[in-house]
Structures are given as C-alpha cells and as structure tokens.
Amino acid sequence: MESAEQDRRAAKADAAAHSPSYLTTGKIDNVTTGLLAALYAVVLTTAFAASRVRPLSTPLRTRWPWTTTIAIIIVGIPTLAQFTVAPSLLEDLERNWTLVAQGQVWRLLTSLVVQDGGAAGAIFNLVALAMIGFAAEQVWGPIRWAVIALTGALGGELWGKIVQPIGAGNSVAVFSLAASIAVVAVLRGVGLQRLLGIINLAGAAVLLIIGDIHGGAATIGGVLGAVLAPPRGSPQDSSDSRPTCLA
C-alpha cells in the first residue's frame, strides 16, 4: 500500500513537472476564480433558460428522464462514498495522465464518477447534471443524450491531457450537454432563445481559449448538437410552433 501511494504521488509530481506552468491547473494564471465561476454560470444558466423559453423539440410523448436519473445514480454513489467511507476513491479513480500513459486508461471513465472540487463542488456538479441533463434529455431523447454526454466527456478528458492532466468530475459531460442545447437554440430557436444560445456558445469559446477543460467538452457538445439537430420539418422540430412557456 505504501509503495502504491508513493507511485501515485510520483505520478502527480511528474504530470505537474511536464505541463506548462499556465496549464497545470487548467487555466491561464491571470484568469481569476471569479471570472471562471462567472463563465461557468453563463454557459449553464443560458442553456437551461434556452430550453425553458419554448420547446426545442417535440417529443413523441412525455416521459420521465430516465437517462439523466441513471446518470445521477451512477455518479452519485461513488461521490457519496468518496466523502464518507472511501476517501481514497478520488486518487484511485481520478484522471491522471501520467498513470493513463502507463496503461490505466480506465481512469478516463472512472474520473467522471468522483469529484475533485470538495463537497461544494460535488453538490454543484450533481445539481447541474440534474438540471442540464433533464433539459437535454427533453431535446435529444435518451440515445443522443448518452452519445453527446459520453463523447463530450471523453473528449474533455483528452483535452485535459493538455490543459489539466490531473482532475475529476462529471462537469465535462454537463458542459457538453449544455453546449448541444445552445446549438439547437441558435439553429431552431427564435428571439430570446436564439440570443441565449449565442451567449452560451460565446462563453464556451472563451473557456476554450483560456485553456479550461470545460471549453473542450463544450466544443465537442456543440459540434454534436449541430450534427444531431433534427432537420426542419421533422416531427422533432418545433421551430415553427407557437412559442410556449415550459413551467
């Protein structure tokens, strides 16, 4: 056990030593925590608001968001264990590109179910997953939801090799879903809804430019949103429907 702990510490030190100083924490040095928090809030709140102004798609029937619910359970159980009975889970499962390069590729997936932002960050990530996940599932349905969330999350993990070699959390999947909603809002929305989508994508672009891991995930989610968006006139396209308020 002591040898394994020493190996983990050495891997963390090696990852930090071989990363540019301004990218070690996933952001440029002169970007304040407050600015990052504001950008995160912009991307998440505009996506959620855009989905509430009017329907972005016309579902065949109303259904419980089971995909989002299952995702919350999959993430929530290890997260709860991390802060209670198994505090070593973070180091055991987190994204660590030095260890990934040594063959622990599974960390690119397991890092999505533990949190590196403390208890407050964990609560925030789970609440964001519930809100954005539910909104995205209304737009995409379960299969495309899963494709966007997983592809964006894994893409974010790969981007993390450059900008944040060590870390964890489900937020990359959330930001991928948020950007996919924004793209549909721009392509299919009207008025305020389209404006919210544009603001969302602008915030995601800034995150990408400053070297934040969520910017990479959001970029992938936006591309997938453009590819998977229902064509105009299809049963799932509601761009010609009368605006309604989703309470």
Q: How confident is the model at residue 32 (pLDDT cuts 50, 70, 90)?
A: confident
pLDDT for residue 200 is more than 70: yes
pLDDT for residue 28 is more than 80: no
pLDDT at 92: 97
The stretch 136-155 carries a mean pLDDT of 97
Task: Compute the mean pLDDT over every residue in the chain, rounded to the nearest whole number.
Answer: 85
Q: Quote the strand ranges of the chain, DSSP E.
A: 95-96, 166-167
* Strand, helix or coil for residue 167: strand
The stretch 6-10 carries a mean pLDDT of 51
CB 207 within 8 A of CB 142: no
Q: How confident is the model at residue 54 (pLDDT cuts 50, 70, 90)?
A: confident
CB 209 within 8 A of CB 27: no
pLDDT for residue 95 is more than 90: yes
Query: What single DSSP character describes residue 237?
Result: B
Contacts for 38 with CB less than 8 Å, ≥ 6 apart: none
φ, ψ of residue 133 to 5 degrees: the values are: -60, -45
pLDDT for residue 230 is more than 80: no
pLDDT for residue 56 is more than 80: no
pLDDT at 62: 58
Query: How many Å apart are CA 239 and CA 188, to the nearest integer?
Result: 5
Lowest mean pLDDT among 24-28, 57-61, 169-173: 24-28
**Position 237: which residue type?**
D
Q: What is the rounded end-to-end Cα distance, in angstroms, of the chain?
A: 53
* Strand, helix or coil for residue 57: strand
The stretch 228-242 carries a mean pLDDT of 56
Residue 76 vs residues 114, 131, 202: alpha-carbon distances, Å: 8, 15, 30
pLDDT at 57: 64
pLDDT for residue 17 is more than 60: no
CB 187 within 8 A of CB 179: no
* Rg of the chain, C-alpha, whole Å: 18
The residues with which 96 forms a beta bridge, in sequence order, are: 166
- Percentage of the chain exceeding pLDDT 90: 72
